[in-house]
Amino acid sequence: MCGIIGYVGTRDVVPVLIGGLRKLEYRGYDSAGVAVVNGNGVEVVRAEGKLANLEAKLADKPLHGTFGMGHTRWATHGKPNENNAHPHRDCTGTVVVIHNGIIENFLPLKHQLQKTGHEFKTETDTEVVAHLIEEKMKSGMKFEPAVKKTLKELEGHYALVMINANEPGTIIAAKQGPPLVVGLGEGENIIASDVAPLLAYTRNIIYLEDGEYIIANDKKVDVFTADDKPVHREPKKILWDAVMAEKEGYRHYMLKEIHEQSRAVRDTFNGRMFEESAEIFFNDLQFTPKEWAKIRKIHIVACGTSWHAGLVGKFLLEEASRLPVEVDYGSEYRYRNPIVDDGTLLIGVTQSGETADTIAGMQEAKAKGAKLVTICNVIGAAATRMSEGVIYTNAGPEIGVASTKAFTTQLTAFYLLSLYIKQLRGLDKDDIRYAMHELSVIPHKIETLLKKQEKHIEQLAHKYQRAQDFLFLGRGVHYPIALEGALKLKEISYIHAEGYPAGEMKHGPIALIDENLPVVAIATHTPVYDKVVSNLQEVKARDGKLIVICDEGDEEMKKFADDVIEIPWTVEPLQPILSVIPTQLLAYYIALRRGADVDQPRNLAKSVTVE
C-alpha cells in the first residue's frame, strides 16, 4: 500500500526520495509528498495524483538538503487530495511523520489532543502521531523519548518514519504490521517500505520485526524492541540487481514480467531437483519421513492471485500426499475458528511475505500448534521469519501490480513441493524422475508459446476490446486458471469478468451467454477433456463468442471455436503454468487497447499490508 522512504547521508536528498518513490509506485497510490530538512527548517511539498505532479511542483520550488522523507499515499482515512497527502506535521511544523497502515484509536487520541489546543489540518489518522509527539515535547521531553512514549499509545498496524527539524540528521522509524526495511550504506542510511528503493545504494538490508523501532543517522542504525532493549541483527545480503527492476525496453513492467516467466520458473527449480537421483532438495525446508508421517491435513492460506495458486496447489498436494487439503482466503481463515492442531501443515502463499491477512491466518494456525511453511518471493520477509520452512520462488522483483511471474513461480513451487512429498513417502523414483524432466523443459515451452502466440493474442485483444463482460471456464486443475484469467482482466482493463468451473456453467452462468459475451475456455487434454468439449458446445449453441486455449494441433477445437490459442503439450499438473500465460497477455493487450494504466491500475495496491 503506501510507499515510504527516508534518507540521511551526504547526497542531495530529493533525487533519492523521488527515485525511491518511483520504485514504490507499484504499491498503488493517489497522492505523494516529500519533506526536506535544511537551513530553512523543514520544507514540505505535496501533490494529489501521480508523482509527475509532485515533480512539477518541485521544479517550481526546488528543495535541497541531505536529510528527508518521501511518501506515496493510498487513501484509508480522508479523501485522496493534496491536503491529506503525507508528510504530516504538528502545530509547530517541526515534527514530521509519514505512515503506512491504520491507527485504530486515532479518534479518541485526536479528541484528547484537541482539548489541549492542538489544531488538526487533515482528515487522516496519521496526523495524530505528530501531535502526540509535540504534546510530549511541550513538557521538555526530547524527540527520541517523546517518540518512544507516543508509540506505546498507538493501537493498530503501522510503519512510521518520524523526523524533527530541530534535531536534523536523526530518523526514528517503527514497525507494527506493515513492512519496513533499512538499507545500510557507507555514510548514509535509508529506510523504506520495500527493498527496491534501496538497491541503487546498498544490498545490506535489515528487516524490522513487529514492535521494533530504529534510531538512525548517517553513521549507524540502532534497533530496539518495544521495551527499549537493543537488538543485534546481522544484515541480509540482497542478490537482486537493481537493473532487474527496470523495463529493459518493454513498454510496461507487466509485459516485461510476462516475458521473464521462463527465466523465473527456471530459477525456481534450479538447484532444487536432481534428475539422476530423482531427489528434491530445499535449503530452507527439511522434513524427515518420520516428521512427515505426523502430518494429517494441509491448510493453504493466501489472498488474491496467490489464493488461485493455492487452489492449483490443492490438486497437486492431495494427489501427492493423499491427505485432505483446504484452501482459504487469509481474510476469512482466522475468523472461522479453523480446526487446527499439531498434525496440521499450514502453507502460507504470499508474493511479498508481508500480506496482512495471510500473516494473520498463519499466526492463528501457529498458535494452535500447526507447522508453518511459506511460499514467498522476498528473502527475510515477515511470513518467512515466522515459518519453520520456506520455499523462495526466486522470481526477482515484480513491479507491475497485476501479478504474473510471481504466480507461475508459485505454481512451480507447489509442483516441486508435491514431488518432495512423494519423495518423503518413498514413491516410485522413475515417476518422480519423469516429472522432474517435464518441469525442466517448461521454460523452453514458455518461450515457444510467447514466440508463437503473442501477436495472435494481440490481434484477439483488438477484436474483443469493446466487450463489457467476459466469462472464463475451466475444469479440474484449470478452474483456478479461469479464476486467475478473470482476475487479471478485471484488474487492469476494468472489464467485468467471472471465472467458473465449466461444469457449473449450466447451473446459472449459462443465462448470461449471447452473441455479445466472449467466453475464454481452457480445454487441454485431461481426463475431463470430452466433458469440457460438451460444455463449450453449449456455449456455441447460444451464440457465445468462444476463445479456446488448447493443446497445439487440437483440430477438434478448431471446428467450432471462434478463436483458438494453442499452447505446447505438457503433463496435466504442469499445464496451468502454460495455460495462464495467454490469459495474462489477453488482459494486457485489451487493457492497452482501452487506454488503461497497465502497471498501476486504479484502486489497487501491490502489497496489501493492512486488513
Q: What is the pLDDT of residues 355-391, one digit of tens each?
A: 889 999 999 999 999 999 999 998 778 899 999 999 9
Q: Which of 108, 97, 119, 123 is nearest to 35 (CA)?
A: 97
Residue 603 lies in a domain: no
Last residue of one domain, picked from the residues 185, 208, 242:
242
Give pLDDT tens digits for 325-366.
999 999 899 888 899 999 999 999 999 888 889 999 999 999
pTM summary value: 0.69
Spatial separation of the C-alpha atoms in residues 114 and 108, rounded to whole Å: 10
Which of 10-24, 47-61, 275-289, 303-317 shows the lowest per-residue confidence on average (mean pLDDT)? 275-289
509 lies in the same domain as 467: yes
| For range 62-78, the mean pLDDT | 88
62 lies in the same domain as 168: yes
Residue 608 lies in a domain: no
Spatial separation of the C-alpha atoms in residues 127 and 121, rounded to whole Å: 8
Confidence of residue 418 (pLDDT cuts 50, 70, 90): very high
Q: Are the CB atoms for 32 and 46 separated by under 8 Å?
A: yes
Residue 607 lies in a domain: no
Residue 600 lies in a domain: no
Confidence of residue 609 (pLDDT cuts 50, 70, 90): very low
Residue 117 lies in a domain: yes
Distance in angstroms between the alpha carbons of the first and the last residue of the chain:
11
100 lies in the same domain as 181: yes
C-alpha cell at 550: 488448447
455 lies in the same domain as 436: no
b/e map 521-530, b = 16+ CB within 10 Å: bbbbebebbe
Q: Is the peptide bond before 87 cis (omega within 30 degrees of 0)?
A: yes
Last residue of one domain, picked from the residues 391, 413, 440:
440
Residue 492's H or E segment, with its range, is helix 479-493
C-alpha cell at 495: 472489464
Give pLDDT tens digits for 515-555.
888 999 999 999 988 888 888 888 887 878 899 999 999 98
Q: Which of 479, 463, 493 is nearest to 584 (CA)?
A: 493
Spatial separation of the C-alpha atoms in residues 164 and 166, rounded to whole Å: 5
Q: Which of 181, 196, 190, 188 is nearest to 235 (CA)?
A: 181
Give pLDDT tens digits for 114-143.
999 999 999 999 999 999 999 999 988 999
Q: How many domains does the chain have?
A: 3
Give pLDDT tens digits for 438-480.
999 999 999 999 999 999 999 999 999 999 999 999 999 999 9
User: Which of the following is catalytic: 2, 303, 376, 550?
Assistant: 2
Confidence of residue 245 (pLDDT cuts 50, 70, 90): low
| For range 390-410, the mean pLDDT | 91
Spatial separation of the C-alpha atoms in residues 392 and 267, rounded to whole Å: 10
Confidence of residue 248 (pLDDT cuts 50, 70, 90): low
228 lies in the same domain as 293: no
The pLDDT value recorded for residue 339 is 93
Residue 250 has pLDDT above 90, yes or no: no
431 lies in the same domain as 488: no
Spatial separation of the C-alpha atoms in residues 504 and 21, rounded to whole Å: 45
456 lies in the same domain as 578: yes
Confidence of residue 246 (pLDDT cuts 50, 70, 90): low
Spatial separation of the C-alpha atoms in residues 425 and 320, rounded to whole Å: 9
Please state, for a pLDDT cut of 90, what percent of the chain lies above it: 69
Last residue of one domain, picked from the residues 242, 265, 287:
242
21 lies in the same domain as 73: yes
Give strand pairing partners of 173.
161, 214
CATH of the domain at 520: 3.40.50.10490
The pLDDT value recorded for residue 610 is 47
Residue 276 has pLDDT above 90, yes or no: no
CATH of the domain at 198: 3.60.20.10
Spatial separation of the C-alpha atoms in residues 601 and 611, rounded to whole Å: 20
Structural domain span for residue 275: 252-440
223 lies in the same domain as 290: no
Could you identify the residue written with the cell 495467454? 582
231 lies in the same domain as 292: no
b/e map 42-62, b = 16+ CB within 10 Å: bbbbbbbebbeebbebbeeee
Spatial separation of the C-alpha atoms in residues 465 and 83, rounded to whole Å: 38
Residue 598 lies in a domain: no
Residue 236 lies in a domain: yes
Say which residues have a Cβ less than 8 Å from residue 362's Cβ, sequence separation at least 6.
301, 346, 348, 372, 374, 383, 386, 387
Give pLDDT tens digits for 564-590.
999 999 999 999 999 999 999 999 999
99 lies in the same domain as 229: yes
Helix, strand, or coil (residue 34) = strand
258 lies in the same domain as 398: yes
User: Which of the following is catalytic: 175, 314, 545, 606?
Assistant: 606
Residue 60 lies in a domain: yes
To the query of whether residue 2 is one of the catalytic residues in this protein, the response is yes
Q: Is the peptide bond before 168 cis (omega within 30 degrees of 0)?
A: no
